[in-house]
């Protein structure tokens, strides 16, 4: 059986991506953002999502999907996160997400579960735990409900709120993408194997279930470097910005690049050196 390190006293600041830290500070500085946060809490979006989730999905327990439950418990122990509720959704989309500020819960789709091996499933679960560890979930609620909030503000302020909300959209999406990079670091700290992370990103980028045996991780890493080489001209950089700016998540290849760089620069080794205990799994 493998042994995994735990990190007593681990803080999110120990591993958060600097882009995430900077984007969070920029978002908080946007005029009116505090009002959006207040409206999220006032209109109880969290409660609506929770009730819909309980009604529509299957909850993971020690008797229902026990393997997934063990991965969740291991991740919580390793990262120092209180165990959230975890659900499986019948959905053809490859997706996993976390909702809820006061009572966060994780959802993973059946399609994604079918795509990943056991270690990769734990990586994704621990990525979601990373969002909880970094306290991303409140801002995620704002991002997911931005269109509704803009409409509410617009009616309350005779249209001025709509302008305010529109001005928040791009900084919020920018934060959303950069928060993913911190959650990826948390997931790597939990699974403690860079190959698991890279395989997960490779499958998310183009994993056809019937072709998984033919995928090559070394080729995927070469593709990352080829994409980076396209920064040679200002036009290419502009195109990269245009194809990214409205996305909620970075491209999988970029997530792989940032995590690979954190490993190469010694950041992962530095944080993993905080481990003071081992957990047999």
- DSSP for 77-97 reads HHHT-PPPEEEEE--SS--EE
pLDDT of residue 97: 93
In a domain, 41, yes or no: yes
When comparing pLDDT for 35 and 242, which is higher?
35
In a domain, 212, yes or no: no
CA end-to-end span of the chain = 6
Closest C-alpha to 88, from 116, 120, 118, 65: 65
Q: Residue 49 and residue 68: Cα distance in Å, rounded?
A: 22
H/E element holding 9? none
In a domain, 226, yes or no: no
Assess whether pLDDT exceeds 90 at residue 252: no
pLDDT of residue 81: 96
In a domain, 70, yes or no: yes
Assess whether pLDDT exceeds 90 at residue 206: no
In a domain, 168, yes or no: yes
Q: Residue 197 and residue 111: Cα distance in Å, rounded?
A: 18
Closest C-alpha to 194, from 124, 256, 129: 256
Closest C-alpha to 139, from 37, 69, 236: 37
Residue 104 DSSP one-character state:
-
What is the number of domains present in the chain?
1
Range of the domain at 86: 3-192
pTM of the model as a whole: 0.85
Q: Residue 259 and residue 254: Cα distance in Å, rounded?
A: 9
User: Average per-residue pLDDT in the chain?
Assistant: 83
Helix and strand totals (H; E) in the chain: 14, 6
Assess whether pLDDT exceeds 80 at residue 203: yes
Question: Which band of pLDDT confidence, cut at 50, 70 and 90, is reported for residue 238?
Answer: low
């Amino acid at each position: 059986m493998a042994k995994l390190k735990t990190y007593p006293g681990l803080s999110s600041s120990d591993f958060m991506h600097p882009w995430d830290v900077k984007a969070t500070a920029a978002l908080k500085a946007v005029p009116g953002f505090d009002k959006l946060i207040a409206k999220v809490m006032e209109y109880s979006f969290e409660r609506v999502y929770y009730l819909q989730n309980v009604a529509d999905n299957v909850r993971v327990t020690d008797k229902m999907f026990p393997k997934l439950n063990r991965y969740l418990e291991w991740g919580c122990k390793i990262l120092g996160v209180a165990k959230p509720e975890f659900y499986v959704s019948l959905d053809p989309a490859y997706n996993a997400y976390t909702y809820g500020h006061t009572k966060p819960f994780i959802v993973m789709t059946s399609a994604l579960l079918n795509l990943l091996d056991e270690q990769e499933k734990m990586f994704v679960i621990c990525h979601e735990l990373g969002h909880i560890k970094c306290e991303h979930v409140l801002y995620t609620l704002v991002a997911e409900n931005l269109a509704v909030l803009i409409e509410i503000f617009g009616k309350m302020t005779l249209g001025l709120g709509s302008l305010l909300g529109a001005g928040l959209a791009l900084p919020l999406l920018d934060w959303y993408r950069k928060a993913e990079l911190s959650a990826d670091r948390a997931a790597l700290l939990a699974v403690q194997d860079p190959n698991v992370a890279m395989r997960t990103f490779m499958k998310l980028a183009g994993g056809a279930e019937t072709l998984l045996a033919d995928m090559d991780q070394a080729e995927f890493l070469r593709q990352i470097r080829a994409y980076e080489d396209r920064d040679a001209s200002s036009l290419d950089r502009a195109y990269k910005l245009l194809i990214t700016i409205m996305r909620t998540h970075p491209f999988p290849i970029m997530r792989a690049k940032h995590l690979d760089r954190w490993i190469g620069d010694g950041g992962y080794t530095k944080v993993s050196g905080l481990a003071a205990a081992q957990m047999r799994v």
